[in-house]
Amino acid sequence: MVDQCPGASNIRMPRLEIKTCPKCGEEIEIFSNEASAKCSKCGFVIYNDLLSCVQWCEYARECVGDEMYERIMQQLSERKGEEEGT
């Protein structure tokens, strides 16, 4: 793995963030390496934009590792499908 990439630090060493559901006001926990999280109260899905470097960086697979890269790309693909309504 690449040790110096500042964009991947949130993926390799995830941080927990607490966000407020815009629909019902419930707290939603989302880790910095997750693409999305669902509100446990109303089901609203929030998205995490911190994963974008994995989409465009030519060193992403090397930087975060094969398993994490595949998981992130799958999450991003699912997110795209949800946004397109498929």
Q: At residue 60, does pLDDT exceed 60?
A: yes
Range name among 44-48, 53-57, 78-82 with the lowest pLDDT average? 78-82
- In tens, the pLDDT along 13-46 reads 788 989 999 999 999 999 887 878 899 999 998 8
H-run or E-run covering 30: strand 27-31
pLDDT band, residue 4 (cuts 50/70/90): low
Ramachandran bin of 5, using left for φ above 0, alpha for ψ from -120 to 50, beta for the remaining angles:
beta
Range 38-63 average pLDDT: 82
In three-state secondary structure terms, 31 is: strand
Please give the model's pTM, rounded to 2 decimal places.
Answer: 0.57
Q: Whole-angstrom Cα distance, residue 79 to residue 86?
A: 10
